[in-house]
């Protein structure tokens, strides 16, 4: 069964609702790839949790059938961490945008990576703040012009792959929204990985970013070959620095390391959710009634 058949068989979307994204938006590809990955993993709505940030990517909260939480701007990762701490047996996915995660939430990204929380962070990287009509995001190219920066920005773009690599993330991948099958495989691998997973996805914004278009990416992206070793950190850093005429997609780095919850002795036997049912909390609650 191919990706399209999987998506049609398990729609993973609310009946009667359709995304409010602009026609042609790269979010559609990410949505389709994510649904295919969830089907592949057998993760029905009650078997997972999804946390959404604010932005066009966060609108997926209305179109994905899953136990979910719509967080504040830049705060999806700490909410996802909280869910994971409460039930470390539950797969937890944070679905965020580049501005949401690398801008407002950049500090949370750093510390979640070094702690190696077992969550998967899927970043819609369109290099703009699309929902607020196209202001420049941290990954925008130098010189990019927008309503708020009509003369073009002077900063260099943030490098999310190098950032995650240096801060201790144990699974780092990069994908392209127009390559659904490849992207679905990356998302599947990221969810299966035990530890902090970052999947940065090149996602064209057809309305507000006329520079990094589908054609622009197709000329630059290339899949990492079978001879590439994602366990070689030095090679991974070389790939992370390919931000010009060549843009690698695939699993850039992966290592095995105990996740945060693996180390907590309190969680060796059961999750906090399971333990809660064995504790009488009525006396504690009564103090606040």
Q: What is the pLDDT of residue 41?
A: 97
Q: What is the pLDDT of residue 130?
A: 92
In a domain, 278, yes or no: no
Q: What is the pLDDT of residue 163?
A: 97
In a domain, 264, yes or no: no
In a domain, 173, yes or no: yes
In a domain, 239, yes or no: yes
* Local mean pLDDT, 10-residue blocks, the chain (289 residues): 42 64 96 96 94 95 90 96 95 97 96 98 96 94 93 97 98 98 98 98 96 97 96 98 96 97 89 74 80
> What's the structural domain count of the chain?
1
The bridge status of strand 135-136 relative to strand 128-129 is antiparallel
Q: What is the pLDDT of residue 11?
A: 47
Per-residue model confidence as pLDDT tens digits over 246-255: 999 999 999 9
Residue by residue, DSSP assigns 132-197 as: TT-EEPTTPPTT---SS-TT---SPPP-HHHHHHHTT-SEEEEEETT-HHHHHHHHHHHHHSSS-E
Q: What is the pLDDT of residue 288?
A: 85
Domain of 51? Answer: 3-259
Q: How many CB atoms lie within 10 A of CB 216?
A: 15
In a domain, 283, yes or no: no
Q: What is the pLDDT of residue 277?
A: 65
Per-residue model confidence as pLDDT tens digits over 143-198: 999 988 999 999 999 999 999 999 999 999 999 999 999 999 999 999 999 999 99
Per-residue model confidence as pLDDT tens digits over 27-36: 999 999 999 9
pTM over 0.95: no
* Residue 186's CATH number: 3.40.50.970
In a domain, 280, yes or no: no
């Amino acid at each position: 069964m191919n990706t399209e058949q999987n998506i049609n068989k398990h729609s993973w979307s609310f009946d009667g609702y359709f995304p409010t994204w602009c026609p042609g938006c790269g979010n559609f590809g990410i949505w389709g790839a994510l649904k295919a990955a969830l089907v592949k993993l057998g993760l029905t709505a009650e078997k997972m949790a999804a946390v959404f940030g604010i932005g066009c990517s966060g609108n997926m909260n209305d179109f994905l059938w899953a136990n979910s939480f719509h967080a504040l701007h830049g705060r999806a990762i700490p909410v996802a961490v909280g869910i994971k701490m409460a039930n470390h047996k539950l797969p937890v996915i944070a679905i965020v945008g580049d501005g949401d995660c690398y801008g407002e939430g950049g500090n949370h990204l750093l510390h979640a990576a070094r702690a190696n929380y077992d969550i998967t962070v899927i970043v819609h990287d369109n290099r703009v703040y699309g929902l607020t009509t196209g202001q420049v995001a941290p990954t925008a190219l130098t010189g990019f012009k927008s309503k708020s920066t009509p003369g073009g920005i002077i900063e260099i773009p943030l490098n999310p792959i190098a950032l995650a690599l240096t801060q201790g993330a144990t699974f780092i991948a990069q994908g392209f929204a127009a390559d659904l099958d490849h992207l679905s495989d990356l998302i599947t691998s990221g969810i299966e990985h035990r530890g902090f997973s970052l999947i940065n996805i090149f996602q064209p914004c057809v309305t507000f970013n006329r520079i990094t278009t589908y054609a622009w990416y197709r000329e630059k992206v290339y899949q990492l070959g079978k001879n590439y070793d994602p366990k070689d950190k030095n090679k991974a850093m070389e790939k992370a620095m390919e931000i010009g005429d060549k843009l690698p997609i695939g699993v850039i780095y992966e290592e095995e390391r105990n996740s945060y919850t693996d180390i907590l002795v309190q969680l060796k036997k059961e999750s906090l959710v399971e333990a809660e049912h064995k504790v009488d909390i009525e006396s504690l609650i009564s103090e606040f009634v």
